[in-house]
Structure 1
Amino acid sequence: MALMDTSFIFVALVFVLAGMVKGVTGMGLPTVAVALLTLKMPPLEAAALLIVPSSVTNVWQLAAGPALYPLWRRLRPMLLAVCAGTALAAVLAGAGNGARDDAAWSGAVLGLALLAYGVLGLAGWRWQVAPRAERWLGPLAGFATGALAGVTGVFVMPAAPYLQALALEKDDLVQAMGLAFTVSTLALAVMLAYQGAWHAAAAGASCLALLPAAGGMLLGQWLRGRMAPALFRRCFFASLLALGAHQCLRVFTG
Structure 2
Amino acid sequence: MSEGLFWLNAAIAATFLLAGFVKGVIGLGLPTVAIGLLGLVMTPVQAVSLLVVPSLVTNIWQLLAGPRILPLLRRLWTMLLGFCAGTCFSAVALDPGASERNSMLLGVALIAYAIVGLSKKRFSVPAHAETWLSPLVGALTGVVATATGVFVLPAVPYLQALDLDKEELVQALGLSFTVSTLGLAAVLAVQGNFQMSVAGASLASLLPALCGMLLGQAVRTRVRAETFRRCFFIGLLALGVHLAWRFAG
**TM-score grouping bracket, smaller chain normalisation:** over 0.9
Deviations 1:32-88 (A, max 9, x none): 000000000111110000000000000000100121110011000000111111111
| Aligned residue in 2 for 1:153 | 149
The CA deviation string for residues 189-227 of structure 1, in whole angstroms up to 9 with x for no partner, is 000111110001110000000000000000111111111
Structure 2: gaps spanning 5 or more residues: none
Q: Distance in 2 between matches of 1:141 and 1:71?
A: 16
Q: Distance in 1 between matches of 2:157 and 2:65?
A: 21
Q: CA deviation at 1:31?
A: 0.3
The one-letter code sitting in structure 1 at the alignment partner of 2:90 is A
**Structure 1 residue 249: deviation in Å?**
0.8
Aligned partners of 2:226 and 2:167: how far apart in 1? 17
Q: How does 1:87-236 map to 2 (within 5 A)?
A: 87-93=88-94, 96=95, 99=97, 102-236=98-232
How far is 1:25 from its partner? 1.0
CA distance in 2: counterparts of 1:44 and 1:224, whole angstroms? 32
| C-alpha distance after superposition, 1:135-182 (max 9, x if no partner) | 111111100000111101110011100000001000110000000000
CA distance in 2, matches of 1:198, 1:6: 23
What residue number does 1:54 align with? 55
- Write the distance in 1 (CA, Å) between the matches of 2:65 and 2:133: 27
Structure 1 position 125, deviation (Å): 1.2
Q: Which runs of 5+ in 1 are unaligned?
A: none
**What is the match of residue 63 of structure 1?**
64
Measured after TM superposition, the shift of residue 5 of structure 1 is 8.3
Structure 1 residue 117, shift from structure 2 partner: 0.5
Residue 135 to residue 6, structure 1, CA distance change in 2 (3 Å): farther
Q: CA deviation at 1:6?
A: 6.2
Q: Which residue of 2 aligns with 1:15?
A: 16
What one-letter code is carried by the residue in structure 2 that aligns with 1:80?
Answer: L
**Does the alignment pair 1:31 with 2:32?**
yes
TM-score normalised over the length of structure 2:
0.96
Residues in 2 aligned to 1:145 and 1:196: alpha-carbon distance in whole angstroms: 22
Structure 1 residue ranges, 4+ long, deviating more than 6 angstroms after superposition: none
The verdict on how the C-alpha distance between 1:5 and 1:163 changes in structure 2, with shifts beyond 3 A counting, is: farther
Task: Specify the SS of the correspondent of 2:205.
Answer: helix
Alpha-carbon RMSD across the aligned residues, in angstroms, is 1.3
Q: Is the 8 A contact 1:66 1:171 kept in 2?
A: no
**Is the contact made by 1:119 and 1:241 (CA closer than 8 Å) also made in structure 2?**
yes
Q: Are 1:249 and 2:239 matched, yes or no? A: no
Question: Deviation at 1:107?
Answer: 0.9
Determine the C-alpha separation between the residues in 1 that align with 2:7 and 2:137.
Answer: 34
TM-score (normalizing by structure 1): 0.94
Quote the Cα distance in structure 1 between the aligned partners of 2:133 and 2:220: 32
